[in-house]
Amino acid sequence: MKMKRLLMLLVLMTGLLPAAFSQSFKVSGKVLSAQNNQPLVGASVVVKGNNSGTTTNELGLFTLTVPAAPSTIVVSFAGMESVERTVNAATTLNIVLQEVSSQLNDVVVVGYGTQKITKVSGAISTVKSGDIEKLVPARAEEAIQGRAAGVNVIQGGSPGSRPTVLIRGIPSFTGTDPVIIIDGVPQTLTDFNSINAGDIESINVLKDAATSAIYGVKGGNGVIVVTTKSGRRNGRTEVTVNSNYGMQEVMRTIGVLNATEYAAMINEGSTLSGGPVIFPDLTKVGVGTNWQNEIFKSASFQSHNVSVRSGSEKSSYFLSAGMMRQGGIVGGDDKSLFSRGNFTANLDFYLSKKVKFIVNATGVILDSRGVQENSFNSVIGSAINYDPTVPVLNNNANTIGRYGFSTRILSEIFNPLTKLENTYNKNVGNKLYGKFELQYDVLSNLKLTSRFGYTKYDGNARSFTPLVFWGLNNVDNSLNADGSTVAGRFNSVAHEKTSNFNYTWETYGNYDFKVGSHNFETVLGFSLARTAGNAAGATRQDVPFNSWEFADFTAATGNNTATNPNALGGYYYQYFRRNVSGFARVNWDYEGRYLASFTTRRDGSFAFGPQN
C-alpha cells in the first residue's frame, strides 16, 4: 500500500515539474522613438517563434503574456530598426527604436530641388535603378506601371509607340499627358522612347498639387521626374555590361465564336429578317479559323548596353552606349518593329570648391515600323470580328490574293492577314538632347543654379498605300478579281520630314535656413522656354509595280489632272512658342513633426496680348 502511494506521488511530481518550468509570465513596457523620444503608437511586440503578440497603445505602452522562459521578444515599427530582447521572467522593458538609416536619408528629386523623403508633404512614388534594370523596359514609363500607386500606363499596340499615362485618373486640363522632366529639363511623353533604361538612376512621380504646383497648370496632369546616372567623384572605374535576349508571345486571346457558332448566328439573323438559311448543314462547318491565332506571332526582344563611370578630384563621368530592338507580336518583326541606338555622356567638372559645371548629352537613332491599331477595323479589330468560316488561304479560282475572303462582309472589316500583308511604313529619326548646368554654392545653405536644356530632333517618315483586292464585291476594292485596277482607284506613297528644336533656360536659387525649431527650404527662380519646328510632306499616286520597293516620290508618276486633282500634293508648316515663367516655393517643418508647403508660379506666353 505504501509502495503504491509512493509511486503515485512520484508520478504526480513528475507531471508537475514541466508545468512549473513552463509557467507563463507577463512582460510590460514602453516603446519610444529615438528621434524625438515620443511614444510609438501601434508598434508590434511579439514573441519570436510563437503566435503571441500585441501592439502598443496611444501612450506607447504594452503588456504581453510570455508562454515560457527563456523567450525572445521582437519589437518592430514601420520605418524603424527592429529590436530583440531576451526575457526569463516578468519584467518591465523600455524599448527605443532607431529609424532605418537608408529610409531616413533617402532623397527624392522634386521640382527645382531635392527633399528628404521624411520631409515631403505631398504624394510621391519612386522607382529606383535596380527595379528598372530588372524589367529591361523598351520605354521608361513601362518601369512605373504597377510600381507607382495611382499611375495607369496604357500601352499602344506597336513597339515603341506612345502610350497613354494617367496620374490619379483623367485630369481636367486639356490633354492627359503629364509633365516630363529629364535631368531638370522639360521634355514630352514622346521623348520617353529615346531614353535608355540602363541610364536611369531613378524615376519620381509627383502626383498631387503640393509637389507638382511649381510646374504651373501643366503640372495638373502630374509630373514624372527622371534622373539619369552620373559619375562618382574620386570613385574607382566601374564598367557595367548588360545583355538580354528573349521572345514575346500572347498569353491568351479573346474568346470569339467558332465557325459553327458563327454560322448558326448568321442563319438566325437571315431567317428573322425574311431571308434564306445561309448554312443548311451546320455539322459540316467545323471550327473554322480563329484569326487571332493567325496574326499573333512570336517576336524577339533584345537589349545590349555597356557603361563606364568614374571620377577624380576635378571631374567625374558616366558614359554609356546601347541598342534595343523589339519586334511586335502582331505580324512579327517583319511588320512591327522598334529599334533604338543610344550614346550618353554625363560629365561633371568641379571648377572650385563652390562651383560645379555639368554637361549632359545623349544622341539617339530611332527606327520603327508599325501596324494600324486602336480602331474597330485595325488589324486586331479585324481579327476579332472577321468571318471564321473563311479559310486562311484563298481557294477561289480565278481570283487574285493570297488569303481567303468573305462574300458576306463587304466593307469596314477586312481579312486581317490581307491587311497585314498590305501594311508598309517606315519611320527613322535622330535626336540630340541634354543640358549645360552651372551650380554655385554661395554659402553652405545657399545654392544658385543656371541650366540650359535642349532637344533637337529630325525625322523622316514614309508610307505606302497599295492597290488591294479584299474580296468579291467588296466596296473597298482597288483591284479587281483578275488583278486589274478598279477605275478611279490609285496606289500612293507619302513622305514627311519633321524638324524641331526646343530649349529651356532656367535660373533659380535654393536657400535653406532655420529659426528656432522651425526649418525652411526655399526656392525662387525664373524660366524662359522656346519651342520651334517645321514639317514638310508630299504625296504622289501611281507607284510602279504596286510595290513597296518602288514606293518613292521620285519613282511615282502621278500628276494632277482635271479628273484627278489629288494625284500629286504637298504641304509645309512651321510653328513656334515662347514662354516666360516665375516660380517660388517654401517648405516648412517643425521638428520633423509638422510639414507644410507653399508654392506659386506665374506663366506668360507670347500668345496672349500685352494686358492679358
Q: How confident is the model at residue 130 (pLDDT cuts 50, 70, 90)?
A: confident
SS3 5: helix
Average pLDDT over residues 266-281: 93
Render pLDDT for 203-236 as a digit per residue (tens, 0 to 9). 888 888 888 889 888 888 888 999 999 998 887 8
Residue 50 has a pLDDT of: 66
Scanning 120-258, the segments in alpha helix (DSSP H) are 129-135, 209-212
Least confident of 60-64, 81-85, 320-324: 81-85
Average pLDDT over residues 83-107: 78
pLDDT value at 3 more than 50: no
Residue 55 has a pLDDT of: 84
Q: How confident is the model at residue 12 (pLDDT cuts 50, 70, 90)?
A: very low
Higher model confidence: residue 351 or residue 38? Answer: 351
Render pLDDT for 162-181 as a digit per residue (tens, 0 to 9). 888 888 777 655 677 888 99
What DSSP character marks residue 388?
T
Render pLDDT for 230-271 as a digit per residue (tens, 0 to 9). 998 887 899 999 999 999 999 889 999 999 999 999 999 999
Q: How confident is the model at residue 364 (pLDDT cuts 50, 70, 90)?
A: very high
Residue 78 has a pLDDT of: 65
Q: State how far Cα 312 lies from the chain centre.
A: 35
Residue 284 has a pLDDT of: 92
Residue 9 has a pLDDT of: 36
C-alpha cell at 24: 507563463
C-alpha cell at 366: 530611332
Average pLDDT over residues 47-74: 84
Where in the chain is CATH 2.170.130.10?
A: 106-228
Residue 611 has a pLDDT of: 67
What lies within 8 Å, CB to CB, of 388 at 6+ separation is 256, 257, 258, 259, 262, 288, 289, 290, 291
Q: Are 335 and 420 in contact (CB under 8 A)?
A: yes
Residue 174 has a pLDDT of: 60
Higher model confidence: residue 604 or residue 529? Answer: 529
SS3 228: strand
Residue 162 has a pLDDT of: 82
Residue 423 has a pLDDT of: 95
Which among 132, 34, 28 is positioned nearest to 79, based on CA atoms?
A: 34
When the pLDDT of each residue in the chain is averaged and rounded to a whole number, the result is 87
Residue 51 has a pLDDT of: 58
Average pLDDT over residues 303-314: 93
Residue 2 has a pLDDT of: 42
Fold of the 22-101 domain: Immunoglobulin-like (2.60.40)
C-alpha cell at 539: 504625296
Fill in the amino acid letter for 171: P
Q: How confident is the model at residue 102 (pLDDT cuts 50, 70, 90)?
A: very low
Count CB atoms within 10 A of the CB of residue 408: 12
Higher model confidence: residue 328 or residue 14? Answer: 328
Class of domain 106-228: mainly beta
Render pLDDT for 493-513 as a digit per residue (tens, 0 to 9). 999 999 999 999 999 999 999
Average pLDDT over residues 137-152: 79
HEC secondary structure over 398-454: CCCCCECCCCCCCCCCCCHHHHHHCCEEEEEEEEEEEEEEEEEEEECCEEEEEEEEE
pLDDT value at 11 more than 50: no
Burial class (CB in 10 A: 0-12, 13-18, 19+), 181: buried
Which among 522, 509, 520, 523 is positioned nearest to 595, based on CA atoms?
A: 520
Which among 254, 327, 257 is positioned nearest to 297, based on CA atoms?
A: 327
Render pLDDT for 367-419 as a digit per residue (tens, 0 to 9). 999 998 878 889 999 999 999 999 999 999 889 999 999 988 888 899 999 99
pLDDT value at 292 more than 80: yes
Residue 353 has a pLDDT of: 92
pLDDT value at 578 more than 70: yes
Residue 105 has a pLDDT of: 52
Where in the chain is CATH 2.60.40.1120?
A: 22-101
Q: How confident is the model at residue 33 (pLDDT cuts 50, 70, 90)?
A: confident
Alpha-carbon torsion, ordered 311, 309, 230, 233, to 10 deg: -20
Residue 21 has a pLDDT of: 39
d(CA 355, CA 115): 21
SS3 553: coil
Average pLDDT over residues 296-305: 93
C-alpha cell at 421: 500583308
Report yes or no on whether pTM surpasses 0.85: no
